[in-house]
Amino acid sequence: DAGVIQSPRHEVTEMGQEVTLRCKPISGHDYLFWYRQTMMRGLELLIYFNNNVPIDDSGMPEDRFSAKMPNASFSTLKIQPSEPRDSAVYFCASSKELGTSGSNEQFFGPGTRLTVL
Amino acid sequence: QKEVEQDPGPLSVPEGAIVSLNCTYSNSAFQYFMWYRQYSRKGPELLMYTYSSGNKEDGRFTAQVDKSSKYISLFIRDSQPSDSATYLCAINTGGFKTIFGAGTRLFVKA
C-alpha cells in the first residue's frame, strides 16, 4: 500500500483566499483524522471521521474551517477565507478499528505545508 | 493545564549516549501510552506503545509508564545519529481520540 496520500505537499496563498487540502487514507482503514502542527501549539487534532461520518470536530478552530469525507477513499479540509495564523503543517492520518486491544495506531501522511501571506 | 506536557528541547547528545525523554499527563483515565517518532519534513510514525503501567522493551528502546505519578518515559540506549528526530508522546483512553505532546527534538552527534 502507498500509505496515506496528501496533496498538495506545499501551498502558498494570500490572505483571504480559499485553501483546499486533500487526503486519501490507507485502503481498509475506517478512521480518518486531520491534524495541524505548529511550533507553538504542537500537533492538534482538528476533526476525525469514522466510516465517513464526522465524529468529533471540537478541534476545528472556527467556522472558516470545514472538512468533508464524501467516500471511504477521500477527504478534504477547506479553509475559507485563509488567514496568516493558519500557516502550519496539516497532517491527515488513518487508522483501522482494532476492537478492544491495541493502541489504534494512526498512520500519518507526509503533510501539507501551508503558508498564508 | 495541558493534558500532556512535554519539554520541547532541543536535546543534544553524543553518539552512544543513553537518552531519556519524558512526558507528564493529567487525566488518570488514560490507559494507552505511545511514542511517535517524526523525522524532519515527515509525518509521525508509531515507535512503541504501552498499555497501563510497566515497561516495554524493543531493541534499543524502552518505554516506561508510571501511572501513580502520571509520568511516561522513553529511553534510547546506544543512541545513533539516525535517532535524530522529534519524539512525541501520545496518550488515549482506548478510543481513537489521541492527545499528543508537543514533541522533543533530539539531536545525536556523531
pLDDT (tens digit, 0 to 9) for every residue of chain A, 117 residues total? 689 999 999 999 999 999 999 999 999 999 999 999 998 888 999 999 999 999 999 999 889 999 999 999 999 999 999 999 999 999 999 998 765 555 678 999 999 999 999
Q: Do A43 and B97 touch (CB under 8 A)?
A: no
Q: Do B88 and A43 touch (CB under 8 A)?
A: yes
CA distance A36 to chain B (A): 11
Give residue A60's pLDDT. Answer: 95
Q: Where are the beta strands (DSSP E) in chain B?
A: 4-6, 11-14, 19-25, 32-38, 45-51, 54-58, 61-66, 71-76, 85-92, 99-100, 104-109
Give the bridge partners for A19, in sequence order. A79
Q: Do B49 and A105 touch (CB under 8 A)?
A: yes
Give residue B31's pLDDT. Answer: 84
- What is the DSSP code (8-state) at residue A25? P
- B89 → chain A, closest CA residue: A43
B49 touches chain A (CB under 8 A): yes
